[in-house]
Each structure stands twice: as structure tokens, then as C-alpha cells.
Amino acid sequence: MDPTVAVIGATGAVGEVFLRVAEQREFPMAKLKLLASPRSAGKRLTFRGQQITVEETSEATLEGADIVFCSATSAVSKQWGPWLRERGVIMIDDGSAYRMDADVPLVVPEVNGDDLEWHNHIISIPNCTTTPLVMALNAMRQVAPLKRVTAATYQAVTGTGAAAARELMAQTEAIGRHEAIPPIEVYPQQIALNVLPQVDDFDEDDYTKEELKMRNETRKILHIDGLPFSSTCVRVPVVLSHSEAVHVEFESDAPMKQLHEALRAQEGLVIGEDPKTWVSPLQAANDDRVFVSRLRPDRSVEHGVAFWVVSDNLRKGAATNAIQIAEELIRRGKL
Ligand code: A2P
């Protein structure tokens, strides 16, 4: 029988995209419950042509769900994760609360779908910067072992949520009308016509939590403990799609032709064959695929390459990856 599905955070930036992706992929459902905070109770959202009323997230409204997609806050994931697990309900969590737990698989189905075999009801999806990166790295490591990875990100404001997207648009409109910028609420500084080299709070070694998530999650998904990794995560005034400038050093020679072949063979990824062409965040928006372009040698190290990777942070970076995990669970007879 098709599962009863609940979405916690249905009114959020990811929740909205989740509904569209589930429609497009015809994800099988007996019933869909749309849940959010009490603020949204009574709001109506459209799914497959039907209006569904949003309800407050509670034990009563989660009752009967077979699978729960959660994209709200870490506190919300922590509130409901153990409760759902105790009842044998699978939670696919978009937040960072459980990602590094030893008994929680962190999954990009095209890379480490086998990790779903040992799930204990909570399954995490990676940070939206990690997912496109590991897809590219997974392809490339078929050619030669990875030695070191460095990256700089250019992250869209929807990664912070719907309120951040509203803040960027309000500031941009105010600038266009030559009016004062409205009070800044989401970011530490104005985001319109600016870039902010801080994503999330500061943590160990003066790296931000986002930078450490990217490192730790990449190691976990690729099963490479201690992979040398460093990144700088930057917020840019883009609404949709995260971009990353990545440098990879290999343990041995990784010929460009073989790298192209490996990237071409990676499911869910598109490689630009001409290194002089590239894909912008706008071009990747509303697309489920990960786009790699500007692949070229990095002659500053012995076996190095540099490339540009872009993907829609709300799709492959969140909603699409979550739905693909559920599809994979069904395919493996684990749902
Ligand atoms: P709401 O719209 O009712 O505030 P975004 O990432 O775009 O900011 O969205 C966050 C999502 O998480 C929204 O759907 C929001 O609902 C939801 N959310 C926030 N707090 C809670 C909560 N305590 N319980 C359930 N959902 C929550």
C-alpha cells in the first residue's frame, strides 16, 4: 500500500518545492499531511490540484504517518525525531541535527544509497552545499583517489529560508526606488549588492559551522575519514542555486579525458564538455541536476583540477534528494 506522508515545514522554502517535486515525480502517497508551526494552521496549499489545509505539528497530526519529511529547524527535528523513531516511523530530515550521528545514514542516493540498508528510522540529507560537491567528487574518485579538496561557495539566500529571500527582494526593491533599506533582520549586514563571507555561526578554528558541515559531511558520505578539506562559505545576493569553485588534488594522475568520462557516467550530473562554457545559478534553478563546468587542470599542485559546480539548493540540495531517498527506500523494500 502507498505510504501516508507528512511534511513538517510544508509552508517553508523547501516545503513548497517539496510539493512541486513530489507532483512532478509522481511520488506514491495514500495521504499527504501538511504540517507547520501553529502560525500556519488553517492555511491552504495546493497539491495535485487539491487544496490541503496546513495543520499544527503535533502527536495527533503525525499519527498514522508512515514517512515524515522534516524541513523546519533543528529544534523541531530533535522534538519529533525520537518520537517518530520509537513508533517505527521513518523521518527524512533536512536539518543538521542528526547528520553526524553514527546511527544515522547521511545519504545522496546516487553516491551512497547502500547506507540506507542500516537506517534506524532517522535518515539525514546533507547540507545543500555538500550534495552537489560529493556528486562531483564521487565521480572523480573513480579515476584517482582524492588527496585534498578546497572550495569557495557562492550560496543563495533561499538556503537560509523564505524570510531571507524576502529580505533580499525588499532591499533590492528599496535600492531600485532610491529608498532607505528596510531594517535588516536575517543577515548581519545588507545582502543586496553585497557578499557576506559568513554562513551560519563561527565554530572551531574560526571556521563557520557551514564550512565544518561541508567538510564532515563530505567525509561521511564518501566514507573517507580525515579527507583533507577546507572551504570558505559565502552568501551572495542570488535567490536560487548554490555555486562552488572547487579545487581537487588527487593521489595520482587523473587524466582530463577520464575525468570527463567519469563525470558523464555519474547519474544526476551534467558535465560541460567545453571548458570555456559554464552554467550560472539562474540556469541551474528549478532543475534537479547538478552541473559541473569549467573543469581544467590546476597546475599549482602535482595532480590537481579546478572546476565550477552549481545546483538548485532547494531541489537537489534539499527536496529532490529527500524524495529520492524515499523512492530508494521503496525500491529496496525498506518502506
Ligand atoms: P511556519 O511557516 O508556520 O513558520 P523556512 O526555512 O522557509 O524559514 O521555513 C521553515 C519551516 O519550518 C516553515 O514551514 C515553518 O512553519 C516551519 N516551522 C517553524 N517552527 C516550527 C515548529 N515549531 N513546528 C513545526 N514547524 C515549524
Domain boundaries of the chain, sorted by first residue:
4-126+318-332, 130-156+195-313
Question: Is residue 162 lining ligand 1, measured as CB closer than 6 Å?
Answer: yes
What is the residue-averaged pLDDT of the chain?
A: 98
CATH architecture under which domain 4-126+318-332 falls: 3-Layer(aba) Sandwich (3.40)
Q: At what angle do helices 320-331 and 13-24 cross, to 10 degrees?
A: 50
| Residue 9 Cβ contacting ligand 1 at under 6 Å | yes
Residue 335: how many CA atoms within 13 Å on its side-chain side?
Answer: 27
pLDDT of residue 273: 86
Contact in structure between 143 and 254 (CB atoms under 8 Å): yes
Query: Which atom of ligand 1 is the closest one to the Cα of 160?
Result: 6
CB 40 less than 6 A from any atom of ligand 1: yes
Look at residue 142 in the predicted model and tell me its pLDDT: 98
* pLDDT single digits (tens) 124-157: 999 999 999 999 999 999 999 999 999 999 999 9
Average pLDDT over residues 303-323: 98
pLDDT digits (tens, 9 = 90+) for 178-234: 999 999 999 999 999 999 999 999 999 999 999 999 999 999 999 999 999 999 999
DSSP sequence for 92-128: EE-SSSSTT-TTS-B--HHHHGGGGGG-BSEEE---T
Secondary structure element (H or E) that encloses residue 17, with its range: helix 13-24
Query: Cα separations (Å) of 178 from 172, 173, 174, 175, 250?
Result: 10, 9, 6, 5, 50
Q: Is 172 near ligand 1, meaning CB less than 6 Å away?
A: no
What does the alpha-carbon distance between residue 264 and residue 163 come to, in Å, rounded to a whole number? 37
Q: Which of 70, 119, 121, 242 is catalytic?
A: 242
pLDDT at 267 over 90: yes
For the question of residue 242 being annotated catalytic, the response is yes
**For 152-161, what is each residue's pLDDT tens digit?**
999 999 999 9
Q: Is the pLDDT of residue 65 over 90?
A: yes
Strand order in the sheet with 67-70: 55-56, 31-36, 4-8, 67-70, 90-93, 122-124
**Ligand 1 centre distance from Cα of residue 164 (Å):** 13
Ligand 1 centroid to Cα of residue 73, in Å, is 7
Nearest CA to ligand 1 atom 22: 37
Is the pTM higher than 0.95? The answer reads: yes
Question: Please, where are the H alpha helices in 161-272?
Answer: 162-176, 209-222, 256-265
- Is the domain spanning 130-156+195-313 CATH 3.30.360.10? The answer is yes
Residue 335's pLDDT is what?
87
Angle at 292 between CA 289 and CA 294, to 5 degrees: 155
Question: Is there a shared CATH topology between the 4-126+318-332 domain and the 130-156+195-313 domain?
Answer: no
Secondary structure (3-state) at 318: helix
CB-ligand 1 contact for 112 (6 Å cutoff): no
Query: For residue 311, what are the CA distances in angstroms to 151, 154, 192, 284, 316?
Result: 15, 11, 21, 6, 7
Query: 259 alpha carbon to ligand 1 midpoint, in Å?
Result: 41
Instruction: Give the model's pLDDT for residue 93.
Output: 98
Average pLDDT rounded to a whole number, residues 98-118: 98
Q: Render pLDDT for 81-92 as a digit per residue (tens, 0 to 9).
A: 999 999 999 999
The answer to whether residue 247 is catalytic is no
The atom of ligand 1 lying closest to the CA of 11 is 14
Each residue of 28-59: pLDDT tens digit? 999 999 999 999 999 999 999 999 999 999 99
